[in-house]
Structure 1
Amino acid sequence: MSFGKEIHLTVPIPKEAEHIITKESIDFLAILHRTFEKRRQELLGNRKKVQESLDNGTPLTFLPETKNIRESPSWSCAPPAPGLEDRRVEITGPTDRKMVINALNSGSKTFMADFEDSNSPTWTNMVVGQANLYHAIRRQIDFEINGKQYKLSEKPAVLIVRPRGWHLPEPRLLIDGIPISGSLFDFGLYFFHNASELVKRGFGPYFYLPKMEHHLEARLWNDVFSLSTSHLGLKQGIIRATVLIETLPAAFQMEEILYELKEHSSGLNCGRWDYIFSFIKKQRAHKQNVMPDRSDVTMTVPFMNAYVQLLIQTCHKRKVAAMGGMSAQIPIKNDSDANERAMNKVRADKLREVQAGHDGTWVAHPALVKIALDIFNENMKGPNQYHIRREEVTVTDKQIADSSVPGKITEQGVRDNVSAALSYCAAWISGNGCVPINYLMEDAATAEIARVQLWQWCKYASKTDTGKTISPSYLQPIFSEESSKVSKLPGIDPGHVKIASEYMAGQVKSQWPSDFLTSDLLVHLEGVGTVGGKSKSSL
């Protein structure tokens, strides 16, 4: 199938996705790429400049040049779109067929179908995942396996899609010799095939936008939305996007991000785990920011509390949803006491969120939906809490960047980080981006925290509570021991554990940690790195 000599795929199109990867859809992606790729690269370059400034000791602050946006009382965002008025519980997960049906039937208000952190971006995952959403929207996704039927309910959850962040490419689709942005690939295919159908069914194309670090990145998304809507001849404003505030720079630009997406905005989300990762990574050059065990960095420590309070105040000031974060707990079978303790953690977390003023929350497992719903139903009588303005809150730039966290570094905490990083990276390379580890449903953010903490502890020769100095040589036997354990887990390829172990061993010796492990490990996925080889084909 030929689409032009300047567009190339490095992998075959799966049969299940032949209606997704078409001449028309690829032509649309090419328009997006050729219009926006230069700006994307400029914005990624700006991230490096900000990091250099932070490394040199210049702290992040609220931007003086956008003070008028923050202080103006005269603007607000778009009203909630159909199906997004009440978002009290949202479930998230990757886009495999069974997961899509179970999530849509879970009883949650919405389902965030994830092409990002809970997904390993194998070619099959990306394009067959698009096919699954295409069929779910048209109620054509039902199937039977081993005598068990999977069928959509009469009133499934409202669908929201999370594309990859601006930093990730889709290396298996080359346009003019350059890989297309993963963001534009994921957004573009979903929007092209489904926007009109969603509007016909009374909803719209709704998105979660991850990993942004500047309000100009939100402006880029807004321009993508406007062009895409116009190109398909649809009414402007049908798109809604919720932005995950999961980087430290974005915490200083919440109002500006909402402003840039104004007619397309449906709020902000506390992407708590990625936020912790970003907090450590961005302040990497300063020893005073060394953190204790990952388990000590809770939502109640000063910098996390400040970010939550500011997010709720900002969203309600502009009349959009302030979404809470993920409860990663999953049911613990065959141990009722341990399961009850885990579920009580979920209840406490959701109660804290609703009482703080959040309009909804995230869960990772269908069994947690009712627990979260009960908490929000009891404490939030209306569809949201936009009326709770939190005008008494004042959050300073120093509070946002406050790295004081009580706790200590324990040998078990070190080992837990090694185990989590190895387990997740090996599973990700194998094609699974949503991994149960120690009765928690983990995605890339957990592995990222583990990775940068191990790097940070080595960089600054931190000591455990027993007085042992953490260094690459101290970690070497722990990597070996945990690699052996992880290799024996069901579904884990020992060869992938070896890759993960070598990667992590290199990371803890580096001057600086890499920006994202997903960028580093992408080369190990199908079809990546084969450009110019036998698998390259013109579309």
Structure 2
Amino acid sequence: MAVPKERVLTQPAQVHGATRPEHDAILTPDALAFLADLHRRFDARRLELLAARKLRQARFDAGELPDFRPDTAAIREGQWTVAPIPAALRDRRVEITGPVERKMIINALNSGAKVFMADFEDSSAPTFANQIDGQINLRDAVNGSIEYVSPEGKQYRVKQNPAVLVVRPRGWHLPERHISVDGEPMAGALVDFGLYVFHNARQLQARDLGPYFYLPKLEAMEEAALWDEVMSAAESELDLPPDCMKATVLIETLPAAFQMHEILHALRGRIVGLNCGRWDYIFSYLKTFRAHGDRLLPDRGQVLMTVPFLKSYSELLIQTCHRRGAFAMGGMAAQIPIKGDEAANEAALAKVRADKLREVQAGHDGTWVAHPALVPVAQEVFDQYMPSPNQLGVVRADVCVTRHHLIAPCSGSISRAGFDNNVEVALRYTASWLDGQGCVPIHHLMEDAATAEIARAQLWQWLHHGPLEFTDHAPIDFALFDHALAKHTHRLRESNAAYAARADQAAALLSTLTHADHLGDFLTLAAYTQL
């Protein structure tokens, strides 16, 4: 645990959630004072930036289209590079992600992946117990004491040469209502980041392991600059070297795709790379154009990384990163092994191989998987086509991406099966999230908040920008949605009687969000008050 500098005593953060005795080692008086300091220094600016998001979206709703910023042209055109990449992160060919659950952490660290992204965000349901238990688990992983014994008696321990640990705190938009400062709820991002660095930063820094972070949901360079200020303040407070905390930013919002140079520049002393957060990016496309009936997307299964607007985004990210000396990370393979059906399993693995082949041949420096069994599949592809630790030398001078390319409409169709699958995924994921599970296998895909957001946003757009038709020319209407929701809610209740209340709760929430006149910003914000 890092020992903060002597500070003037002020009121520490207040804890309102139910705790267990073992949480006391995380929620110490010094740690709570550290959180309070972060809140008082940075929360007002965070709220200003969230207000700027709303104004930006209002302009999009009124018909404006995203574009590159004229006021930052000098940054895009300038000759500069980011700081050198630390040795521990120079080979990131395969990364695995998952929630901060104890068994998951051990399995991910042992998976053979180069990096494990421990996730407080889209694959975690932020119950207070989940968040603080996650901090305990990460503390134990850092100090080497983490272990787990299953109910059946199987023991799990971390092996030699584990994956490098990278932590994803919650996005700027998510609150933590169980911890407040001066009567105001803290930002989930500051809670996750603050507790992790307070208890682990000194030990990680002493071993040249960061601490390292993935930063989600950014929309503008100013939001990246705020993270830089937060990390600089934490380094100073904890007596750590400047810029020892390193960050990789997920480009998972459409506005951020127009500011990739600017985001790298804002974090240039500590940024390591950008990542194609493809599922959130598709959701952001839907949300950004929620009022634009001419930019609807077809069935999710048709919105692949080969469609023009996604291919352009991926190639621009590679070109931008490599020009600045930063890594360009590929996206998530959501498939999970299919047991008992060899043909179906091989078909799923073939999709993973094709996706990873596309990424490595395009110039990406690494990729993501959601399941340990996919690590060797992805690694085999990257080992074959990327024998060096990375591809920083692939400059992609052939890429010329314009505003039009990044916002190009996507052709395709809407099928009954795609509509029904969206209802099922949105319902089942929301019910699981409300039950404390943020990462849910559904039909052999690992669904998280991002994929559930795609499902519910597509439903909203298809129903509110009608009249639309399925491929068989039947109309898409609210009667059909209500029937499908009732059908899947009944099935969910029947599958688990103890789960019935969550099924009904999730169905009511999904119905409200889908029938509303405006597409809500985030499912997890709407559901958080019910968690």
| Residue matched to 2:411 | 406
1:175 equivalent to 2:181? Answer yes
Please tell me whether the aligned partners of residues 438 and 448 of structure 2 are also in contact (alpha carbons under 8 angstroms): yes
| Residue matched to 1:160 | 166
Equivalent AA in structure 2 for residue 364 of structure 1: A
Equivalent AA in structure 2 for residue 307 of structure 1: Y
| Residue matched to 2:6 | none
| Residue matched to 1:380 | 386
1:86 aligned residue (82, 85, 91): 91
| Residue matched to 1:481 | 487
Structure 1: distance between partners of 2:169 and 2:13? 21
Structure 2: distance between partners of 1:202 and 1:320? 19
Structure 1: distance between partners of 2:27 and 2:14? 12
Structure 1: distance between partners of 2:372 and 2:228? 32
Secondary structure in 2 aligned to 1:227? Answer: helix
| Residue matched to 2:374 | 368
| Residue matched to 2:3 | none
What root-mean-square deviation, in Å, do the aligned CA atoms of Structure 1 and Structure 2 show?
1.2
1:455 aligned residue (446, 456, 460): 460
Structure 2: distance between partners of 1:308 and 1:236? 31
- 1:4: how far off? 7.3
Structure 2: distance between partners of 1:189 and 1:490? 36
- 1:392: how far off? 1.4
| Residue matched to 2:136 | 131
Structure 2: distance between partners of 1:217 and 1:339? 41
Equivalent AA in structure 2 for residue 429 of structure 1: L
Residue range with higher mean Cα deviation, 220-229 or 466-475: 466-475
Structure 1: distance between partners of 2:22 and 2:379? 35
1:455-490 residue CA offsets vs partner (Å, 9 max, x unmatched): 001111221112222222221111111111222345
Equivalent AA in structure 2 for residue 268 of structure 1: L
| Residue matched to 1:297 | 303
- 1:491: how far off? 8.9
Q: State the aligned residue count.
A: 521
Structure 2 residues not aligned, in runs of 5+: 1-8
Equivalent AA in structure 1 for residue 153 of structure 2: G
Structure 1: distance between partners of 2:300 and 2:511? 19
1:251-290 residue CA offsets vs partner (Å, 9 max, x unmatched): 0000000000001101100000000000011011111011
Structure 2: distance between partners of 1:524 and 1:104? 33
Alignment CA distance shift 1:294-1:252 (3 Å): same
Residue range with higher mean Cα deviation, 459-468 or 221-230: 459-468
Structure 1 residues not aligned, in runs of 5+: 526-539
Please tell me whether the aligned partners of residues 11 and 36 of structure 2 are also in contact (alpha carbons under 8 angstroms): no
Structure 2: distance between partners of 1:396 and 1:275? 17
Equivalent AA in structure 2 for residue 79 of structure 1: P
Please tell me whether the aligned partners of residues 143 and 151 of structure 1 are also in contact (alpha carbons under 8 angstroms): yes
1:442 aligned residue (427, 438, 447): 447
Higher relative contact order (CA 8 A, sep 6+): 1
Structure 2: distance between partners of 1:324 and 1:181? 28
- 1:5: how far off? 6.1
Please tell me whether the aligned partners of residues 11 and 33 of structure 2 are also in contact (alpha carbons under 8 angstroms): no
| Residue matched to 1:501 | 507
- 1:156: how far off? 0.5
- 1:7: how far off? 3.6
Structure 1: distance between partners of 2:495 and 2:238? 48
| Residue matched to 1:358 | 364
Equivalent AA in structure 1 for residue 47 of structure 2: Q
- 1:424: how far off? 0.2
Alignment CA distance shift 1:161-1:294 (3 Å): same
1:248 equivalent to 2:277? Answer no
> What is the correspondence of 1:242-321 to structure 2 with a 5 Å cutoff?
242-321=248-327
1:346 equivalent to 2:352? Answer yes
- 1:369: how far off? 0.3
TM-score by length of 1: 0.95
Secondary structure in 1 aligned to 2:89? Answer: coil
Please tell me whether the aligned partners of residues 14 and 128 of structure 1 are also in contact (alpha carbons under 8 angstroms): no
Structure 2: distance between partners of 1:479 and 1:354? 40
- The percent of aligned pairs where both chains have the same amino acid is 50
